[in-house]
Amino acid sequence: MEVLTNPKVAVPFGDGAYSLDRLNWVSAAVLSREVAVAAFAILLVAYFASVYKKNQRPGQLRTWPFVGSVPTLAANWTELYELLTRLLEKDEVVWLDYAFGFEGLYIADPTLTEFVLKTNFPNYPKGTPVQERMRELLGHGIFAADGQQWKDTRKVASLQFSSAILRDFSADVFKERSMELARIISQFAQSKRPIDMQDLFMRLTLDATCKVGFGVELGCLTPSLPDVPFSRNFDLANELSFHRYIDPFWKVKKFLNVGSERLLKNCVDAMDEFCYAVIKKRRLELDSGVRDSSKCAPDLLSRFMTMMESPEEIYSDKALRDHVVNFIIAGRDTTAITLSWFTYMICLHPEVAEKIYEEVTELERSESSADSVGEQDDRFAKFAEALTFYSVGKLQYLHAALTETLRLFPPVPLNGKIAERDDWLPNGVRVKKGTMVTYNSYAMGRLERVWGPDAKEYKPERWLKDSGFQQTSPFKFLSFHAGSRMCLGKESAYLQMKMAAAFLIKFFKFELVPNQDIRPRVMFVLAMAEGVKVIATPR
């Protein structure tokens, strides 16, 4: 019998006839399609089952297919911090999906934060998902850097912040700007006009920070209170960068240069125009002089430019821009925000303001000298003589009141890290590689299991023992971060805040303008959405 190895037999099929080859091909195609449909259905069922399983997890924020928890976040965006606080009061961790499988985990427990920020610090860098959302604003500066780049940047910054020259220069600048602020408030007090204190504090700290950081005078606190485009662009860029966490299409919008991404680019371009102009001017000044760090101007930019061993090793303009912008967000935003919330709290608690008034009055009395060079008819200048880098260290109650403000209103309410490898937290929670682990300082400051039954009360006394200030674990009080990335500018921030607060409380009483909507603006820092308006009365 002859064996047909390649039959060409016509077989009826539908309205025509097909060879066995064609029939086999069609059958295979139909089968492949059926298998594909079945496989897709299985994957879809498995995906929805995983979403359902996630929604059953303790502390899980409601999750939808593909878009994750973004609808829940978007619907509660203006109340984000309060929402997360309520969830963390019930559960030790809070889970959510940002979109397309990017998973997040929120923590607010000192044991867990110590594990992430210290014990297993190498496994929790900033990571690409976090860095790319803040890249335009912060570049490769200290807040966004990782690995060796972060180590090098921190080493440079540490050398500068430990410099006695920069410290003394900062103290003089902070005192001068605080005196200017007091004079402006005095003008408002005479006419009983409402004052937006957050706006004034932002002007104060931007003026001071740009002087210390760039060596330039912005004139934000001149009596006319001029418009400050750099400040406006800086704030909007901050908010738009943070908004990327609930915008799953931000990369597409960035590529097309449309919508919020176009606005962000415009803001950053305007900021950079200012920054690069200052850098160019300073390079010309240094090139015409001696490149010696011991003889250069005391501002941070000049010292960065002259700290290398030879002129060829100077930083690029982009690197310098990133260093200084990170310094501004650290020195300007965080300090102004804390002073704004501090003003709000002393208006709600006038007894705290009175205790601070007694303390600063005693300081002036103890620091005054018979041969004072201050103008006798200028009470602001006379008081300024009592404020030095060392004397403000005696203001223990003021230090406690500011720290209590920082506990309840941390300048950076949320701070995320990306798990580099699979891990297990001390409480037994599994963290998969690529998960964003965010410590929630805002929630932690309000948790009774961390601070006791009076956690939500404003009580500066909780920081005092035997009339002295008592520190607590930095993993419990996270306003200045903790572990290897502990804030280098902590002492500088306290110095500026204490000088400004001492001036204001020494010379004025404050009362809130009624019917204000005092709530935070959702961005990388805890600024007030509408500021805080007060009426000042001279003492």
48-57, 241-250, 340-349, 513-522: least confidently modelled range: 48-57
Quick check: is 142 in a domain? Answer: yes
> Is the pLDDT higher at 126 or at 11?
126
pLDDT in tens, 45-102: 555 555 555 665 777 888 777 778 888 888 888 899 999 999 999 999 999 887 666 7
386-408 mean pLDDT: 95
Distance of CA 180 to the CA centre of its chain: 27
User: Does pLDDT of 193 surpass 90?
Assistant: yes
pLDDT number for residue 151: 80
Do the Cβ atoms of 107 and 438 come closer than 8 Å? yes
Adjacent-strand bridge partners of 501? none
Quick check: is 43 in a domain? Answer: no
Quick check: is 95 in a domain? Answer: no
137-151, 173-187, 293-307, 433-447: least confidently modelled range: 293-307
pTM over 0.85: no
Do the Cβ atoms of 137 and 261 come closer than 8 Å? no
User: Does pLDDT of 396 surpass 60?
Assistant: yes
Report how far residue 360's alpha carbon sits from residue 373's, in angstroms, rounded to the nearest whole number: 20
Burial readout 370-409 (b: 16 or more C-beta within 10 A, e: otherwise): eeeebeeeeebebbbbbbbbebbeebbbbbbbbbbbbbbb
Quick check: is 275 in a domain? Answer: yes
Give the chain's domain count. Answer: 1
pLDDT in tens, 428-480: 999 999 999 999 999 999 999 999 999 999 999 999 988 789 999 999 999 99
pLDDT number for residue 369: 62
pLDDT tier for residue 37 given thresholds of 50, 70 and 90: low
**How many separate helices (H) and strands (E) can be counted in the chain?**
20, 13
1-5 mean pLDDT: 43
Q: Where are the beta strands (DSSP E) in 121-218?
A: 195-196
Quick check: is 32 in a domain? Answer: no
User: Does pLDDT of 217 surpass 90?
Assistant: no
| CATH label of the domain that carries residue 426 | 1.10.630.10
Counting other chains too, the contacts that 218-221 makes at CB distance below 8 Å and 24 or more residues apart are 221/177, 221/180, 221/181, 221/184
pLDDT in tens, 153-180: 777 777 666 667 777 888 888 899 999 9
Beta strands 103-107 and 436-440: pairing type?
A: parallel
DSSP secondary structure string for all residues of 369-432: -TT--S-TT-HHHHHHTT--TTGGGG-HHHHHHHHHHHHHS-SS-EEEEE-SS-EE-TTS-EE-
Highest averaged pLDDT of the listed ranges 41-50, 313-322, 495-504: 495-504
Report how far residue 36's alpha carbon sits from residue 450's, in angstroms, rounded to the nearest whole number: 53
The one-letter code for the residue type at 55 is: N
pLDDT number for residue 502: 96
Quick check: is 359 in a domain? Answer: yes
Do the Cβ atoms of 415 and 438 come closer than 8 Å? yes
Tell me the residue range of the domain where 403 lies: 129-538
User: Does pLDDT of 122 surpass 90?
Assistant: yes
Determine if residue 487 is labeled as part of a ligand binding site.
yes
pLDDT number for residue 34: 67
Counting residues of the chain whose pLDDT is more than 90, the rounded percentage is: 47
User: Does pLDDT of 182 surpass 50?
Assistant: yes
pLDDT number for residue 38: 63
* Among 318, 329, 320, 145, CA closest to 237: 329
Quick check: is 354 in a domain? Answer: yes
Report how far residue 495's alpha carbon sits from residue 482's, in angstroms, rounded to the nearest whole number: 20
Report how far residue 535's alpha carbon sits from residue 185's, in angstroms, rounded to the nearest whole number: 9
User: Does pLDDT of 310 surpass 60?
Assistant: no
pLDDT tier for residue 312 given thresholds of 50, 70 and 90: very low
pLDDT number for residue 194: 95
300-322 mean pLDDT: 69
Cα three-residue angle 142-119-130, rounded to 5 degrees: 35
Quick check: is 281 in a domain? Answer: yes
User: Does pLDDT of 15 surpass 50?
Assistant: no
Mean per-residue pLDDT of the chain = 84
DSSP secondary structure letter of residue 529 = S
pLDDT tier for residue 514 given thresholds of 50, 70 and 90: very high
User: Does pLDDT of 397 surpass 70?
Assistant: yes
Residue with tokens 């099929």: 13
Do the Cβ atoms of 536 and 240 come closer than 8 Å? no
pLDDT tier for residue 303 given thresholds of 50, 70 and 90: confident
Q: How many CA atoms lie within 13 A of 352 on its CB side?
A: 26
